Chains A and B, each alone.
Chain A
Amino acid sequence: MSITSLFSTGLKPVNLGLDMFAEDLTAQGVAPVRMDWTPPGGGDPEIIAALGRLERPELAERIDAANEEAVSRVLAAQPFLEGFGQAIDTVPGMTRRTILHAGPPISWERMSGPMKGAVTGALVFEGLAKDLDEAGELAGSGEITFSPCHEHQSVGSMAGVTSASMWVHKVTNRTHGNTAYTNLSEQLSKILRFGANDQSVIDRLNWMRDVFGPILAGAMELNEGGLDLRLLLSQALHMGDEAHNRNVAGTTLLIQALAPYILETDFTTKEKREVFDFVASSDYFSGPTWMVTAKAAMDAAAGIEDSTVVTAMCRNGVDFGIRVSGTGDQWFTGPAQQVIGPMFAGYTEADSGLDMGDSAITETFGIGGFAMAAAPAIVALVGGTVQEAMGYSRTMNAITTTNNPNVTIPALDFMGVPTGIDVRKIIETGILPLINTAIAHKDPGIGMIGAGIVHPPLEAFQQAIVTLADTIGA
């Protein structure tokens, strides 16, 4: 707009800075667009310099193109549930003595209480130790291989502990051909993935291994077409889920899709009934399914040269780790944060373990906290209002590359979920991704004690921007 045409157009100002100027404009009847601005990179000169290098027009153009490619792969991905298998037979690199865990790499010694609880429980479950004490010794003996789920095309919720005989989803992205895995929901409360490991936990895992997994696997063998998970996910959001902490609708949709095939398997009616009862015992059954859906989509966007799109966010209860498309498999980490939210009766913040799990893959994809506006029923988790939930989803637009037209939020006029977190935008805006998540007790053996929201540590993104500037700007 030229200067003279400004003179004949209504003035529509943006106020960046002193609020009093915005108030004066409002008093004159010209309400400005208001900003909640902070200096980029937290004002750290090294970080601003790295951002500045990436903002040079020729680099910015290359990065934008690479990010466009990355998000177009995410949007085009079609994750289909193809079946279920035991980890030892399906997950790449799995051995009898391998324990996969959530988050970036971590040694047994540094693991958090709940993750240690899950590891020892899994070793007992696998018959590698006769009890938890022996399991603890074995875990520290060097004979067990610990490895992040993410390094095995997998994701695991909370502790993410996955052992050889556990059953996992097999999800293939039919557009790009990559496959991803995740284990089955143990449902809620006193369960292995929250670090609980008593006999009731082991009994449930045994039942899942012997009945639940085989029935689901048998059902999917009868379903030759597979299940279009993106479609189900999209419907779930329209029904009020954000598909991380609230999975009521998604669980119903998923079991509805599986039910006809479950009925046709050769298992007994009693066993089938147990499966339906188990699924109905918690809304969380479909939670891992959306995680692996997101993983299958995000893996397709990994390893694109010059791209600053985040392809994974995960935590192990000690460290928060991210991966960025343009830097491949490299981890950038910072300290895992405390999750803030309401607790189950009788627990306080002092009991809570730090942020844990690969479930933030949902936010990486654009659901979960990013789709908070789709799930007004859970805004109480953040002690907030529906309006604020709308604001959270809109705010995530500021740090993402695009909106996913296949997964939309009705209340925001069917805005697609914000997709393709851009490290540059996080550094520039100081806005951190919003993650909806659960809270595990800090000690092994207890389990889930609450839920809430958490943000990643800025340090992980600061490391990433410096490495990106060195790589892309070299």
Chain B
Amino acid sequence: MTRYIDIRKNTYLDSVSLMSMSTKANAVEGVTQALLGMATPMNKEVLANVGVHDPAIDAARPSDLMIVIDAADDLVEDAIQAVNDILARKSRGAGDTAEVRYRTLDGAFSEVPDSNLVLISVNGAFAAREARKALVAGKHVMIFSDNVSVEDEIELKSLAHDKGLLLMGPDCGTAIINGTGLAFSNAVRRGSIGIVGASGTGSQEISVRVHDFGGGVSQLIGTGGRDLSAEVGGLMMVDAIEALAADPETEVIVVVSKPPAEEVAEKVLGVLGATGKPAVVCFLGSPRTESGHANVQLVSGTKPAALAAVLATGVDESTLDLHALNLPLIEEVRAKLAPEQRYVRGLFCGGTLCDEAMFAALATFDNVYSNIQKDPSYVLGAADPSKEHTFLDMGDDDFTDGRPHPMIDPSLRLQRLVQEADDPEVGVIAMDFILGFGSHEDPVGVTIPAIEEAKAKAAARGQHLEILGYVLGTDLDTPAIADQVAQLEAAGVTIASSSTNLGLLAREFVAKGDH
């Protein structure tokens, strides 16, 4: 043990800093005791009480700094250096700028009064209360959270309506407001097409297709998937359509949804009719074919919706690459599949993408199973093995319970992919890859090993397994779509150019030319 005593004449440090420095000095390796203090009578007494006596200390004056370090013999030099560094305050790094974070919305609003929209993604049990606060404060709201009761949804939407505010959601995954994507969204050109979606990935897909056709999006408003139910009655859909009708930047309005309650569909179409603006409606899977309004066009899928919208802005169809179905490709794939490979297995992140592929299959086949099937006799649970044609929305609650969405965490989908490859009756595995804000940074990259494993399994029993991929994204997204497509092609995956084409190709590959 070595004792080091240093008296620094006329060196003043305030007592609080010294206490703090002493605490740090005592934590230095090798130090058994470090005492830093001004040489006041009280501090000298403290030193005496712990057995430190030295003539230099006796002689020191209150304006002198006393440094006493007891340290292991071999470490004393390092300890002195470390304590000197502490005294020189070298330990404090840059980056002292603490970011202000607010604990309550009221606190945030009072400090940032011009904030105008609140994006809520806290646990659903608490989301409604926060949304109510935001609306009361006059802010627009997007509720990403799910598990908000329908009663709360109706109350919040009525409150928003009364105050002239947006209440997007609950369970609303996407929006683009003034060119800024919120939650899950893609980087698309700004333009004159306004989208109102009661389906998240459906809205994303239309925005991407619009971009792909050279058009742009003025606003994309997500209403939450329940908005067009009989209970909620399209409360937000109607307000959003009217807002787009009044928006001078919006020339064409696109509405996308799963099939709405019939009376709600009627209401929405009426509101669209009254806008006088060209409107395109895609009620996926709905049997309705006529809108009843001259300016409102009903279409069957997301790609036709985007195309109709772009054409309605005055673009000449002959200038567009429509990505027609590749018929020779269909023949080629059919030829590679063995006769028993009759079925499609769809493993989806995007609910609407799953829906669209499933409806394409249902147009030809009856034996289509899914966790989102309307017909109860064809419903599969998350734990059930796949059966005949199976389309799984792996972003649905039964798969995401207690785990992140597959757009963020693909592990469950990777397992399922390898598992499906064990079934010799499977001809095609269809998959979506969703790029953009909120998504996994490299959704294709993480999937390639599982794709290779699946293909190898089929090859081992002498079969060709067709993996059909669709990448939802734009050239402006990170990662860019071209990089992701190139990775898939290198792994032998066939690429569909849209959600709509994905469904059609998957169906046709296994159709055996028998219809």
**A residues apposed to B, CB below 8 Å:** 1-4, 6-7, 9-18, 20-21, 24-25, 27-28, 30, 32-40, 189, 245-246, 341-346, 377-378, 380-381, 383, 385-388, 390-391, 394-395, 397-398, 425, 428-431, 450-451
CB distance from A365 to the nearest CB of B (A): 21
Are B119 and A15 neighbours in the complex by a CB distance under 8 Å?
A: yes
CB distance from B33 to the nearest CB of A (A): 8
- At the interface, is chain A mostly helix, strand, loop or mixed? mixed
Are A20 and B240 neighbours in the complex by a CB distance under 8 Å?
A: no
B203 CB within 8 Å of chain A: no
Closest 10 CB pairs of A and B: A17-B121, A342-B19, A3-B243, A380-B20, A36-B101, A24-B437, A345-B35, A429-B103, A398-B107, A2-B164
Task: Give 15 CB contacts A-B under 8 Å.
Answer: A2-B165, A9-B178, A11-B177, A12-B117, A13-B115, A13-B182, A16-B122, A21-B121, A21-B438, A28-B180, A37-B122, A40-B129, A342-B16, A385-B92, A425-B104
B144 CB within 8 Å of chain A: yes
> Which residues from 234 to 250 on chain B have a C-beta closer than 8 Å to any C-beta of chain A?
239-240, 243, 246-247, 249
Contacts of B140 in A (CB 8 A): 1, 3, 6
Are B117 and A14 neighbours in the complex by a CB distance under 8 Å?
A: yes
Extra contacts besides A13-B116, A245-B16 (19): CB < 8 Å: A1-B140, A3-B140, A4-B247, A12-B115, A12-B116, A13-B119, A14-B112, A14-B139, A16-B120, A17-B120, A33-B111, A33-B112, A39-B126, A342-B23, A346-B33, A346-B46, A377-B16, A380-B21, A383-B20
Are B119 and A189 neighbours in the complex by a CB distance under 8 Å?
A: no
Q: For residue B19, which residue of chain A has the nearest CB?
A: A342
Whole-angstrom distance between the alpha carbons of A388 and B96 in the complex?
Answer: 8
Contacts of A6 in B (CB 8 A): 116-117, 140, 166, 177-178
B363 CB within 8 Å of chain A: no
- At the interface, is chain B mostly helix, strand, loop or mixed? mixed
Contacts of B17 in A (CB 8 A): 380
Q: For residue A52, which residue of chain B has the nearest CB?
A: B129
CB distance from A431 to the nearest CB of B (A): 5
Are A189 and B20 neighbours in the complex by a CB distance under 8 Å?
A: no
Contacts of A35 in B (CB 8 A): 101-103, 105, 108
CB distance from A400 to the nearest CB of B (A): 11
CB distance from A61 to the nearest CB of B (A): 13
Whole-angstrom distance between the alpha carbons of A18 and B177 in the complex?
Answer: 19
8 Å CB contact of B101 from A18, A21, A34, A343: A34
CB distance from A120 to the nearest CB of B (A): 22
Contacts of B42 in A (CB 8 A): 189
8 Å CB contact of A17 from B47, B110, B145, B165: B145
Are A380 and B246 neighbours in the complex by a CB distance under 8 Å?
A: no
Whole-angstrom distance between the alpha carbons of A425 and B115 in the complex?
Answer: 21
Whole-angstrom distance between the alpha carbons of A10 and B138 in the complex?
Answer: 16
CB distance from B112 to the nearest CB of A (A): 5
Are A16 and B112 neighbours in the complex by a CB distance under 8 Å?
A: no
Whole-angstrom distance between the alpha carbons of A1 and B243 in the complex?
Answer: 12
Interface size in chain B (residues, C-beta < 8 A)? 74
Assess A428 versus B37: contact at CB under 8 Å? Given A17-B119, A17-B120: no
CB distance from A240 to the nearest CB of B (A): 11
8 Å CB contact of A398 from B23, B104, B139: B104
The residue in B21, B107, B218 that gathers the most chain A C-beta atoms within 10 A of its C-beta is: B107
Are B121 and A11 neighbours in the complex by a CB distance under 8 Å?
A: no
Q: For residue A394, which residue of chain B has the nearest CB?
A: B100
Contacts of A395 in B (CB 8 A): 103
B49 CB within 8 Å of chain A: yes
Q: For residue A17, which residue of chain B has the nearest CB?
A: B121
Are A7 and B249 neighbours in the complex by a CB distance under 8 Å?
A: yes
The contact string, 1 if C-beta is below 8 Å from chain A, for chain B 1-35, is 00000000000001011011111000000000101
Contacts of B181 in A (CB 8 A): 24, 28
Contacts of B19 in A (CB 8 A): 341-344, 380-381, 450-451
> Which residues from 67 to 100 on chain B have a C-beta closer than 8 Å to any C-beta of chain A?
92, 96-100
Contacts of A24 in B (CB 8 A): 181, 437-438
B219 CB within 8 Å of chain A: yes
B130 CB within 8 Å of chain A: yes
CB distance from A351 to the nearest CB of B (A): 13
B114 CB within 8 Å of chain A: yes
Whole-angstrom distance between the alpha carbons of A25 and B438 in the complex?
Answer: 10
Contacts of A15 in B (CB 8 A): 119, 121
CB distance from A191 to the nearest CB of B (A): 12
Q: For residue A36, which residue of chain B has the nearest CB?
A: B101
Are B180 and A30 neighbours in the complex by a CB distance under 8 Å?
A: yes
> Which residues from 446 to 482 on chain B have a C-beta closer than 8 Å to any C-beta of chain A?
none
B183 CB within 8 Å of chain A: yes
Q: For residue B131, which residue of chain A has the nearest CB?
A: A16
Contacts of A386 in B (CB 8 A): 96
Whole-angstrom distance between the alpha carbons of A39 and B124 in the complex?
Answer: 11
B154 CB within 8 Å of chain A: no
Whole-angstrom distance between the alpha carbons of A401 and B437 in the complex?
Answer: 39
Are B126 and A13 neighbours in the complex by a CB distance under 8 Å?
A: no
Whole-angstrom distance between the alpha carbons of A28 and B239 in the complex?
Answer: 27
Are B180 and A11 neighbours in the complex by a CB distance under 8 Å?
A: yes
Whole-angstrom distance between the alpha carbons of A129 and B391 in the complex?
Answer: 88
Whole-angstrom distance between the alpha carbons of A450 and B14 in the complex?
Answer: 14
> Which residues from 201 to 251 on chain B have a C-beta closer than 8 Å to any C-beta of chain A?
218-219, 239-240, 243, 246-247, 249
Assess A342 versus B20: contact at CB under 8 Å? Given A6-B116, A14-B118, A387-B98: yes
CB distance from A44 to the nearest CB of B (A): 13
Whole-angstrom distance between the alpha carbons of A18 and B181 in the complex?
Answer: 15
Are A7 and B247 neighbours in the complex by a CB distance under 8 Å?
A: yes
Whole-angstrom distance between the alpha carbons of A12 and B108 in the complex?
Answer: 12
Whole-angstrom distance between the alpha carbons of A18 and B184 in the complex?
Answer: 12
CB distance from A107 to the nearest CB of B (A): 33
Whole-angstrom distance between the alpha carbons of A162 and B115 in the complex?
Answer: 52
Assess A16 versus B105: contact at CB under 8 Å? Given A11-B180, A28-B180, A385-B98: yes
B123 CB within 8 Å of chain A: yes
> Which residues from 143 to 193 on chain B have a C-beta closer than 8 Å to any C-beta of chain A?
144-145, 164-166, 177-178, 180-183
CB distance from B504 to the nearest CB of A (A): 32
CB distance from B420 to the nearest CB of A (A): 30
Contacts of B122 in A (CB 8 A): 16-17, 37, 39
B383 CB within 8 Å of chain A: no
